[in-house]
Structure 1
């Protein structure tokens, strides 16, 4: 099952989608001080150059945290290999966290791999009068339920794999 995405997001160019995704993440950074968000960052390491769609850096207690963001403006489900590529970039660049943002949903294997390796998966979706729940064997669409974050409509679903094949969701607001 495909969770609906707003037409305006689907009609964006891949570059505009990257910028929009970073705007959504920027709204989630409330409370952080001295943070930076960059689009289209090039990171040079001893084994080469890496182009990153988005980059967030912030400092807490004198420790600098770095996050890589990859954005996929796809109509097909995100495969495990795409998540693995992001994980390889994390290791090569010495970055602490990875976030993969997509217009489409994620294959079960990609959700499991991301959960095992600490990568956040976010599907930008359409806020509406529905809620989708999913386990390994089934997907349920519940009409009449509108997920929200403290009264604000959601724009993204953060997916996590749990034991016994369950996938949990958190909702991002804009």
Structure 2
């Protein structure tokens, strides 16, 4: 939820949003929406994570439990006007490997260049575009056949937090967990 001057202005980033506010929006609205679908979900912003080659600060991280195991997802949020290049996806993949994360997600306000999409699809990096009040998932992982983009639309008024997910022409509330956290829906 975006708050400006102590008032809610919407569930989509308002035009003057700062990069830091966008990162918080991604953590709260996108990752936080998976809470009902996973056990022990903890979402953090600007967490510093030690890797084998240094310490990295991620825009957001999500930790959760499944089948008694602990999982970590690392997220980079890009408030860009120009299409996201392959190099940004490559850097995220390297960070995922360094810190031993189970999933990497790159969320942007702009489109992704074809090379970025191809690299992400090959290496299991999720790409998400925030556009017109919804999240559009471009890639998810490398092992599955391509399927239509998942669209997550927020709805409801003040005090109501809801999400409608559509994939393959059906509503799937477990898709946030599957697409973002890299685990099958429950």
Distance in 1 (CA, whole Å) between partners of 2:12 and 2:51 is 38
- Out of 19, 22, 35, the residue aligned to residue 17 of structure 1 is 22
Runs of 4+ in 1 over 3 A off after TM superposition: 6-10
Distance in 2 (CA, whole Å) between partners of 1:167 and 1:47 is 35
SS in 1 for 2:73: strand
Distance in 1 (CA, whole Å) between partners of 2:107 and 2:15 is 13
Cα distance, 1:12 vs. partner? 0.5
User: Does residue 1:172 correspond to 2:152, yes or no?
Assistant: yes
Question: What are the ranges of 5 or more consecutive residues in structure 2 without an aligned counterpart?
Answer: 1-10, 155-186
User: Does residue 1:71 correspond to 2:77, yes or no?
Assistant: yes
Give CA-to-partner distance per residue, 1:91-135, whole Å, 9 cap, x none.
Answer: 0000110110000010011011111111110000104xxxxxxxx
Give CA-to-partner distance per residue, 1:70-91, whole Å, 9 cap, x none.
Answer: 0000000000000000000000
Cα distance, 1:23 vs. partner? 1.6
Question: What are the ranges of 5 or more consecutive residues in structure 1 without an aligned counterpart?
Answer: 1-5, 128-154
Distance in 2 (CA, whole Å) between partners of 1:33 and 1:44 is 24
- Out of 155, 159, 163, the residue aligned to residue 138 of structure 2 is 159
TM-score normalised to structure 2 length: 0.69
Partner of 2:108: 102
Partner of 1:93: 99
Cα distance, 1:7 vs. partner? 8.2
Give CA-to-partner distance per residue, 1:47-77, whole Å, 9 cap, x none.
Answer: 2110110000001111111100000000000
SS in 2 for 1:29: helix
Which runs of structure 2 are paired with 1:85-164 in the superposition (5 Å)? 85-127=91-133, 155-160=134-139
TM-score normalised to structure 1 length: 0.74
User: Does residue 1:50 correspond to 2:56, yes or no?
Assistant: yes
Q: How many residues align?
A: 139
Please tell me whether the aligned partners of residues 159 and 167 of structure 1 are also in contact (alpha carbons under 8 angstroms).
Answer: no
> Aligned pair in 2 of structure 1 residues 7, 43: CA closer, same or farther (>3 Å)?
closer
User: Root-mean-square deviation (CA), in Å?
Assistant: 2.1
Partner of 1:40: 46
Please tell me whether the aligned partners of residues 160 and 167 of structure 1 are also in contact (alpha carbons under 8 angstroms).
Answer: no
